[in-house]
C-alpha cells in the first residue's frame, strides 16, 4: 500500500470518528454538505471550475439538509 493511500485512509477514519457526537440536525447538514460538494465538484469539473462547483454544491447541500430536517419535525 502506498503512503498516500495510508494517509487517506487514516484521514477518512478520523473524519468519521469526529462525527459521532453530532445531533440529528448537524448530521443532516453535514451529510447534505458533503453530498452537495461532491455533486458540485463533479459538475464543476465538467464546466471547468471544480472548486467553485464544490463550494456552491456544499452550500446548497447544507441548506437542503437543514431544510429537510426542519420539514421532518
Threshold 0.75, pTM exceeds: no
Domain assignments of the chain as residue spans, ordered by start: 22-71
| The dihedral formed by the CA atoms of 20, 23, 26 and 30, expressed in degrees to the nearest 10 | 30
Q: How far apart are CA 11 and CA 32, in angstroms?
A: 20
Convert the pLDDT of each residue in 3-60 to its tens digit.
777 777 777 766 666 667 788 888 888 888 888 888 888 888 888 888 888 899 999 9
Amino acid at each position: 500500500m502506498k503512503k498516500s493511500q495510508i494517509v487517506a485512509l487514516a484521514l477518512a477514519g478520523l473524519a468519521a470518528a469526529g462525527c459521532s457526537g453530532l445531533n440529528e440536525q448537524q448530521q443532516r447538514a453535514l451529510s447534505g454538505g458533503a453530498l452537495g460538494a461532491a455533486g458540485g465538484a463533479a459538475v464543476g469539473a465538467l464546466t471547468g471550475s471544480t472548486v467553485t462547483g464544490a463550494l456552491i454544491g456544499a452550500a446548497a447541500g447544507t441548506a437542503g439538509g437543514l431544510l429537510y430536517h426542519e420539514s421532518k419535525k
